[in-house]
Structure 1
Amino acid sequence: MKRGLVIGKFLPLHIGHMALIGYALEHCDELEVVIGASDDEPIPGEVRLEWLKQTYAGDSRVKPILLSYDEAMLPGADSIENMSRLWASYLKKNLPRIDVIFASESYGAYMSRFLDCESVIYEEPCKVVPVAAARIREEPALYAHLIPEAVREYYKVQV
């Protein structure tokens, strides 16, 4: 069995994230989807976990996991490489063995080294969602076409 990993903040979950998750599902048997959430963020981690559970309720291969942390526990580091090393160390202790990490950013390559797994960089999400997640949060009605039903319900946005 091939186990994959996707890590994100999902602030909010949007079709770019869903494209990455969909791509990962085409290449593994089970997918751990880790939601990194700190108390400093505008949407609680539990809400984002629920979005993923609702959105992927019909697919038992998707395993959403909430990773609540504070900056003292897993701080941003002086480089992507050092930050990836810290996160990988934590994930190795708290997740089952990972065979491949899927990412749309360069941290995926670093994480794979520290997790002793394959890395796949999938660039399509950045092309699918050409706007920052902060803009989606600021104007969810304008970007409703980029968010799944569970997120639209949170914002009470009609399409």
Structure 2
Amino acid sequence: ARTNITRLLACDPDQLRTFQGLKIGPTFVHKNLRFGGHPSVKELGYPSYNKPGSIVYWMNEAQPQEEFVAFLDTDMLLRVPLDPTKLGAARGVVVSAEYNYLIGTRPPFASRFLHADEVPLSAACGGFHVFHREDLREIAPLWIEATAEAQLTQHTHAY
């Protein structure tokens, strides 16, 4: 079955006026959280708020009806159809790609966000994530909060 693809774009009105490429496909535009605008954003200039922020704004405003949502990094391409069920995605189960070079999934960093018995279950993953819609609705606000906490304390804890 065909599904929708929507690009999520963090962009301020001034940036949007000169943005090239809006016509390449459906685009959901929201406020750039790098400059504040969300209760969890405690400092300015950190662009990583936009990934979870995009999801929060899009989920709240677009109200997607698809059971699964695939979230791809901007440098990812789909070469074959993506079937969430065949990949193993389900309510409570997110599918992603292994990214062994990522930091932050081992103690002591991961211990700041997870219970001790959960730390061994964490995995370095990225590139794409396939979520059940309702899981994503629950996760995204927590993702912004965790991003804020990680950014504010990045220099006080080793990765």
Same fold (TM over 0.5): no
What TM-score, normalized to structure 2? Answer: 0.28
Higher helix share: 1
Which is greater in Rg? 2
Higher relative contact order structure (alpha carbons within 8 Å, sequence separation ≥ 6)? 1
